[in-house]
Structure 1
Amino acid sequence: MLHLEHINLVVKDLPSTLAFYQAAFPNWTVRGGDNDTWYGTARNWIHFGDDYQYLTFNDNGQGDNRDLTSNRLGLAHFAFVTVNLSALISRLANAGFEVAKPGADNPFRKNVYFIDPSGYEVEFVEYLSDIPAQRNRY
């Protein structure tokens, strides 16, 4: 069996990025970090997560993320499942982050999209059914 272990992101600023993801994932911690040089660019990095999954953040990102309204090549968004979407939205709002766009109406799931401090679109989903045919209904 396979599962996603980590996502490695180049970000503009570690503290603001960490603030966003700490609000979303209050049970995750900084697992480690250091500084190094990546192809001639100095950077700091951290791993933020739990014992099984994490996000890697590398600072000193240059330029802007892709235009999310375009069809340009690149990451469109990534998503996480939560058991309480309202609580997650409240935590992010209390940390200064607002919903960027709501998800589609669906009787079996609720979802919203946020834009993190580096311009990555992050979806959060709460499923209202345990039946795969309902959860995966489009």
Structure 2
Amino acid sequence: MYLEHLNLVVTDMDQTLKFYRAAFPHWWVRGEGQQTWHGLERRWLHFGDDNHYLTFNDNGYGENRPLKGNQIGVAHFAYVTADLDGLIGRLLQAGYEIHHEGAQSPHRRNVYFRDPNGFELEFVEYSSDLPEQRNLYQ
């Protein structure tokens, strides 16, 4: 079993795609269309590869949950990368700032960014293949 996709409601499809294309240059738009969702017209789009993707639905409104609070909702989601420096460079070049650095660990580096909709993404690079080192929590 594996996670195939996340389905996210966003405010602006173009700004959302700009962020995720910088983070995932190897992904593409797998499919897209229009639909009516509870009386509101919206565009949907699947962005990913053959096995994993993110679904974006535009015309979202309101604010995302505050990340410093304890409200129910998504706190963040994370992706593993083999080249954290390259990923950071692409996102900085595209105009995005690091939201915060991750906790210090001898076997992983991680950094957090916020997308244009307020979703927080963690990107992590492991320096060990050993689960007992990768999952060492201090």
TM-score by length of 1: 0.98
The whole-number CA distance in structure 1 between the counterparts of 2:117 and 2:108 is 27
Which residue matches 1:100? 99
Give the secondary structure class of the aligned counterpart of 1:123: strand
Give the secondary structure class of the aligned counterpart of 2:106: coil
Q: Deviations over 1:65-96 (max 9, x none)?
A: 00000001110000000000000000001111
Aligned amino acid, residue 129 of structure 1: S
Give the secondary structure class of the aligned counterpart of 1:86: helix
Aligned amino acid, residue 10 of structure 2: V
TM-score by length of 2: 0.98
1:116 pairs with 2:99? no
Please state how far the C-alpha of 1:98 moved relative to its aligned partner: 1.0
The whole-number CA distance in structure 1 between the counterparts of 2:115 and 2:82 is 21
Aligned amino acid, residue 84 of structure 2: L
Identity of aligned residues (%): 60
Which residue matches 2:75? 76
Which residue matches 1:36? 35
Q: Deviations over 1:100-128 (max 9, x none)?
A: 00001100000000000000000000001
Structure 2 gaps, min length 5: none
After TM superposition, list the pairs within 5 Å mapping 1:1-138 onto structure 2: 2-138=1-137
The whole-number CA distance in structure 1 between the counterparts of 2:94 and 2:34 is 27
The whole-number CA distance in structure 2 between the counterparts of 1:25 and 1:19 is 10
Instruction: State the 4+ residue runs in structure 1 displaced beyond 2 angstroms.
Output: none
Q: Deviations over 1:4-29 (max 9, x none)?
A: 10000000100000000000000000
Give the secondary structure class of the aligned counterpart of 1:100: strand
- Count of aligned pairs: 137
RMSD, aligned CA: 0.4
